[in-house]
Amino acid sequence: MTSGTPKHIAVLVLDTPIPNVTDKHGDFGDNTIDLLSRASNTQPTIKYQLRSDTDSELAHTYHTLHSNIENHLITGFILTGSRCDAFGEDIWIAKLDHFIQQTLLKLGPSVPIVGICFGHQVLAKNLGCKIGRNDKGWEIGTHTIELNQEIFKVKDNPFDGVLLSVDDKILDHLNLVEFHQDIIYGLPPVNYDMVSIGSTVMCNIQGMLSNEGCSVKLLTFQGHPEFTTPIALDLLKSKYENNLIKKLDYEKYKYQTTSLNNQGDLIGKVIVKFFSN
């Protein structure tokens, strides 16, 4: 891939196709690239498939990644969501942990890193955070996040000028699609200075933003800004049909998802700004 490869944002795809969803809407990487496109991203994007049970495929992909990093072809990273647990013991997760520890976190603040859902959790784990099951259960469908106003005080923060209401006031709430039963329990230790994005009734930390002077440039979201409402509704249906949620919950969150204004595209603009700052 290196020969003739343009400088690009690397989208690390951390799941395999979802039956009856991916064939209609694309995979996690496609959804992420579509989100950036709707936000008028001008940087090329390339997907790297990092969930695989085949050692040879993973070895080839990581070789390509390292080559493109060494040749300064990657301008930033996005780690996608996944149906797996970030604390799982799968071989591909162990390899991902090693890559995060030994490569991503050593690139410094000049290379921005974005994590979405599983990506948020696995980055947090490797920053020293405790992660695990949420004893409150699933947070699924569209939910309202109470934004932490401290994010607007971070120097050169990507939210400034984007999260505004129709009367140009800074938003204090935001609606995003959520699909997770795992959470991070707290921010990283002091050697990684992060600010919480906000919270919901179900989850206290809905993402992180690195402060000025942090050794990494990081932005994460527990929610899924890349999921449009049609994607969210099909995923809800898939969860129900696979007996992961009860019918009462399915009907409740289906109604909630169709009723609340999905503001994921605003976060798409935040991410594009984060990469260009």
Asked if the structure places residue 3 within a domain, the reply is no
Count of structural domains, the chain: 1
Boundaries of domain holding 35: 8-276
Which CATH number belongs to the domain containing residue 182 in this structure? 3.40.50.880
Residue 54, CA distances (Å) to 49, 60, 77, 91, 97 in order: 11, 10, 23, 10, 17
Asked if the structure places residue 222 within a domain, the reply is yes
138-177 residue pLDDT tens: 999 999 999 999 999 999 999 999 998 777 788 999 999 9
Asked if the structure places residue 82 within a domain, the reply is yes
Asked if the structure places residue 2 within a domain, the reply is no
> For helices 28-38 and 264-276, what crossing angle results, to 10°?
80
224-251 residue pLDDT tens: 999 999 999 999 999 999 999 999 999 9
Predicted TM-score (pTM) of the model is: 0.95
